[in-house]
């Protein structure tokens, strides 16, 4: 088992490096920091603009491959360059990343677990299953930003009815634990609802297929009850492709983070990415892309481990049955 995982880790690192490089090249080609600097008021001398662009490794008159090699050599050492304001990208990155993780991770985990559980149950229950399918379709068709606004309106109504500030949503809540938890409720629900719909529909379809599989029918033939055969034998098999699906769904998390953080006034990686795109600032964009490029292969590697643990065929091979 170890050698395939080592091989997958090597492939994942190579893919992450390629994705991060592509992110930098696209940012360097499409964004125009020169126009941003030349548009300052009062307009700076051209020589000052050239000198500042050179110092930041953003001069479009320098060959692209030279700028890329300078950036890549620094990125390998953990230095992602500087922003247009001269601030260190690497110094700001950990705080931005921590904000996004705290904001998005609870909802992602809860939503994925609840989606798997509800999807498995909905595949067996006919009428509730149809209701779950309809609700999931509505949630999937609703933009994340709209869900966030709807929850804020509901939170405002809840606070008004109870007369207590049960939920808050602007800022991070400061230093108090209770205040931080109050500020996390609505972002967590926003992300969780999106993931419940996404994983619920996927798991529902997988469980319907698993219910017709040979090992579930064999378990039923041996006298096991419907629910025991269904959940005891079918769920484990249906979870195998879900682990892979979860890993690759993280690629969309950065996009969703941008809207969730904007809706709740958080300064995480998603909001940073949007602000940097608007400011034509390539290095923060490249840094955000690099983090996403590392996160997705890492999640894929973790999914590969779970895949081997859940896959009945792999389990029998490890036990020497086959």
Give how many domains the chain has, as a whole number. Answer: 1
Domain for residue 15, yes or no? no
% residues pLDDT > 70 (the chain): 84
Q: Whole-prediction pTM value?
A: 0.80
Q: 9-45 pLDDT, tens per residue?
A: 788 788 889 989 999 999 999 999 999 999 888 888 9
CA 146 to chain CA centroid, nearest Å: 18
Residue 25 belongs to a domain: no
- What is the structure's pLDDT at 320? 41
Establish if 232 belongs to a structural domain. Answer: yes
Is residue 120 in some structural domain?
Answer: yes
Phi and psi dihedrals of 168, rounded to 5?
-130, 160
91 within domain boundaries: no
Q: Which of 14, 199, 8 is nearest to 113 (CA)?
A: 199
Overall average pLDDT of the 261-289 stretch: 91
- Torsion, Cα of 19, 23, 24, 29 (10° steps): 130
pLDDT at residue 174 greater than cutoff 70: no
Q: What share of the chain is helix, strand, coil (3-state, %, to 5)?
A: 80, 0, 20
Question: The CATH number of the domain where 115 resides is what?
Answer: 1.10.3720
Q: What is the mean pLDDT of the chain?
A: 83
- Say how far apart CA 45 and CA 39 lie, in whole Å: 11
Look at residue 105 and tell me if it is in a domain: yes
303: in domain:
no
Domain contains 2: no
Domain limits for position 257: 97-278
Q: How do residues 158-173 score in pLDDT, each as one tens digit?
A: 999 999 888 988 777 6
Q: Among 247-251, 282-286, 316-320, where is mean pLDDT lowest?
A: 316-320
Report which of residues 233 and 56 the model is more confident about.
56
Q: How far is the C-alpha of 170 from the C-alpha of 37, rounded, in Å?
A: 32
* pLDDT score recorded for residue 309: 72
């Amino acid at each position: 088992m170890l050698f395939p995982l080592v091989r997958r880790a090597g492939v994942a690192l190579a893919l992450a490096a390629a994705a991060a490089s592509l992110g930098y090249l696209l940012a360097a080609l499409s964004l125009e920091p020169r126009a941003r600097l030349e548009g300052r008021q009062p307009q700076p001398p051209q020589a000052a603009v050239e000198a500042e662009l050179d110092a930041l490794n953003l001069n479009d008159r320098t060959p692209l491959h030279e700028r890329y090699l300078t950036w890549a050599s620094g990125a390998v050492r953990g230095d992602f360059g500087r922003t247009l304001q001269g601030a260190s990208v690497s110094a700001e990155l950990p705080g931005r990343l921590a904000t996004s993780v705290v904001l998005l991770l609870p909802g992602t985990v809860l939503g994925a677990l609840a989606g798997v559980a509800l999807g498995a149950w909905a595949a067996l229950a006919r009428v509730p299953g149809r209701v779950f399918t309809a609700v999931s379709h509505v949630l999937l068709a609703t933009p994340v930003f709209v869900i966030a606004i709807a929850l804020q309106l509901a939170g405002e109504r809840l606070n008004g009815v109870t007369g207590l500030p049960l939920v808050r949503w602007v800022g991070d809540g400061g230093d108090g634990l209770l205040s931080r938890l109050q500020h996390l409720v609505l972002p967590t629900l926003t992300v969780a609802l999106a993931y419940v719909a996404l994983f619920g529909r996927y798991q529902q379809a997988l469980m319907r297929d698993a219910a017709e599989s040979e090992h579930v029918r064999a378990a039923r033939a041996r006298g096991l009850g419907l629910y025991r055969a269904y959940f005891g034998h079918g769920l484990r098999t249906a979870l195998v492709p879900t682990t892979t699906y979860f890993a690759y769904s993280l690629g969309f998390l950065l996009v969703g983070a941008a809207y969730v953080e904007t809706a709740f006034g958080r300064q995480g990686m998603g909001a940073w990415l949007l602000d940097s795109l608007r400011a034509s600032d390539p290095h923060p964009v490249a840094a955000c892309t690099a983090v996403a490029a590392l996160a997705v292969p890492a999640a894929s590697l973790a999914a590969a481990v779970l895949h081997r643990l859940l896959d009945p065929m792999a389990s029998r091979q490890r036990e020497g049955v086959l």
